Chains A and B, each alone.
Chain A
């Protein structure tokens, strides 16, 4: 019971700390202005490059990638801010369960990431009339949940690096934009060079976005279950690597008294 209490309190407080200071206007700008800008820019760029008939490809891909605002920026900064605000030694000194504290950094961002994709899909629907008439909406929702989870897994891994890096926001930015290149958001994975395809298979979003595209085209669970299982597994692997790194770096920091010295 105590563990659950810590989990939910961690979730709630880190989320408030992340967004509440900026007032609801700041939060809403990331929830609406950024999705509008991203979907509009990349879809219009795609239309300029390939014609209006491909608008759905770009609009859908970018709507799904919006989960990375939470999964990457949100989660990485949730861990990274502890260092910036000087609370990292207190966190590391607390007796709280590390796994619970660690996963608590991501939980609300997963929920908020799902909400972000819902906003993105609604905007894509309004701005570019994407056709969801063939889609199984329940399955589409499952795809979005899994994408949000797997992206947060990657965010947790990079968030762990904040224990030894001062400018983790740079990493979050880089990862966010590289996902736009490698994950089949704007460029089909099959059109990437072989080395880039290899990278894309190891990233979250790649399989999830492909599965979602198939679901929107009318595919059922049986056709996309393999992709979704792979997406979930990728996210889990990243989260595990992140947790292991977090524990190892914490151990190193404790031994050397280096919590804020990197």
Chain B
């Protein structure tokens, strides 16, 4: 176990160093949320909806870093010719992925700083009426949901290179299902059903409820559903990691998959 923790810590450390000098990472947490906050505030204006623009911009950056950048890391290993070494080494792939994803989450969480700053300094808007304890817990639950989704998706990127194209293509669709910048209650009923199996949706609802949005205060229920769905993803992920391991060894086509 200590060896796995050490390996994950090294993967985290290396990933942090590489990300710190990666322009695309810095675009993802610094510039990308800014664009969406500006767009959001220009559309939603002041008043009660500004929380959706400011927190929403941060959420987009956070999610983008967690899953697109997390997936991109696997794709980069493929491009660099190191994916086979990672799969072939005694440390399980999931340990490396966990280390890399923790680094994605750290940079992703930074997205909220430019989002809040541009809201405050450029538009004189801020997120008000924050209920601190539910807000903090909701943020942790959301982080867990992002982490679980990214861990579950990572083996798909290793298995098929088109998997990244598909998830990247649907990145903006995820903003809809997660209710990142508007409540999902305005979506068609069938789409709300789809959104309800998406763990971050429940955590995002709790997060916005903690800023005074009129959703009720059923925090415990929302957190529980989000955590249960996230754990469900991990179970699916466990099977996917086994599948990738067997498949990569059986076909020998990892780099070309």
Contact = CB atoms under 8 A, between A and B. Distances in A.
A260 interface: no
Nearest to B164: A26
A41 interface: yes
Contacts of B176: 37, 40-41, 44
A178 interface: yes
Nearest to A168: B23
Interface stretch (A134-142, A151-159, A169-177, A237-245): A169-177
Contacts of B38: 181
A46 B43 CA distance: 7
Contacts of A37: 169-176
Contacts of B172: 34, 37-38, 40-41
A48 interface: yes
B165 A44 contact: no
Nearest to A127: B188
Given A177-B32, A186-B43, A47 B173 contact: no
A41 B173 contact: yes
Interface in B1-54: 23-24, 27, 31-32, 35-36, 38-40, 42-45, 49, 52
Contacts of B251: none
A203 to B, nearest CB: 15
Given A180-B39, A187-B42, A23 B32 contact: no
A49 B165 contact: no
Contacts of A47: 182, 186
B183 interface: yes
B24 A169 contact: yes
Contacts of B165: 22, 25-27, 29-30
A45 interface: yes
Contact of A173 (B27, B183, B187): B27
Nearest to B60: A41
A36 interface: yes
A193 to B, nearest CB: 10
Contacts of A41: 172-173, 175-176, 181
A260 to B, nearest CB: 17
A23 B175 contact: no
A167 interface: yes
Interface in B166-201: 166, 168-176, 181-183, 186-187
Contacts of A46: 43
Given A29-B169, A50-B43, A191-B42, A177 B182 contact: no
A208 to B, nearest CB: 20
15 contacts: A25-B162, A25-B166, A27-B165, A29-B170, A32-B169, A34-B170, A37-B170, A37-B171, A40-B172, A49-B44, A49-B45, A169-B24, A174-B27, A181-B35, A181-B42
Given A21-B161, A44-B176, A46-B43, 13 more contacts: A23-B162, A25-B162, A25-B165, A34-B170, A37-B174, A41-B173, A48-B44, A49-B45, A167-B23, A167-B24, A169-B24, A177-B36, A180-B39
Interface of A: 21-23, 25-27, 29-30, 32-34, 36-38, 40-41, 44-50, 167, 169-170, 173-174, 177-178, 180-181, 186-187, 191
